[in-house]
Amino acid sequence: MQIDLQHEHDWEVTPDEAKRIQRRLASQVRETPLPNTIDTVAGVDVSVRDDVGQAAVAVLQVPGLEVVDEAIHRSEVPFPYVPGLLSFREMPAVLPALRQLGTEPDVLVTDSHGRAHPRRFGLACHMGVLLDRPTIGVAKSILVGDPRGDLGVENGSRVPLVEDGETVGTVLRTRTDVNPVYVSVGHRCTLDEAAELMLDCSPTYKIPEPTRQAHRLSREKV
């Protein structure tokens, strides 16, 4: 996969400097329609053990959701775990993994938040802005915001995730009677499109298949 970073910066920075970078780049996030045709969606995930991160990317065909490409990269993770600063911990391992791909995915999906973030710039936004590619964040828990309304128990039910009067994401039920996921815009997509695509990518499990496959790959021994 061809990578041309749009806004290069250091990764080994202090938490305060990391927050300043997030605030500066948050203005670059664009909420625009996805491409009319989406053939491939890539899930991205990182597993960290003993300060070594294994980043994994799984590219799936759409529809069908067959894995058509995948990549792994292992590297040290010097940045500490700080809530809201996940991208500084994981992106240095993710970028080399993406470079290994022989496929140019149409959409990237991260196991993290996008705009549903204290500075409206979670890992999905950071990745999307740096690569200038459509990116969606899908998280398993809330970082900021509260669900607005009662979420139905049926597959496909959704309600807004709202903080300070701003809709920052969608609470999405991908499986009937199963806990929801939290979808937010990363870059170059709309929230409704992101939710619809993630629902289409979740035919069997709660977690969308691209990030589920990436998580499996991130935990494999290499």
Give backbone dihedrals phi and psi of 139, rounded to 5 degrees, phi first: -115, 160
State yes or no: pLDDT of 221 exceeds 90. Answer: no
State yes or no: pLDDT of 187 exceeds 80. Answer: yes
Q: How many helices (H) and strands (E) does the chain have?
A: 5, 9
- Stretch 96-100: mean pLDDT: 97
- The pTM of the full predicted model, rounded to 2 decimals, is 0.95
pLDDT at 167: 98
pLDDT digit string (tens) for 119-150? 999 999 999 999 999 999 999 999 999 999 99
State yes or no: pLDDT of 222 exceeds 90. Answer: no
pLDDT at 51: 85
- Stretch 161-189: mean pLDDT: 97
| Residue 70 near residue 56 (C-beta atoms within 8 A) | yes
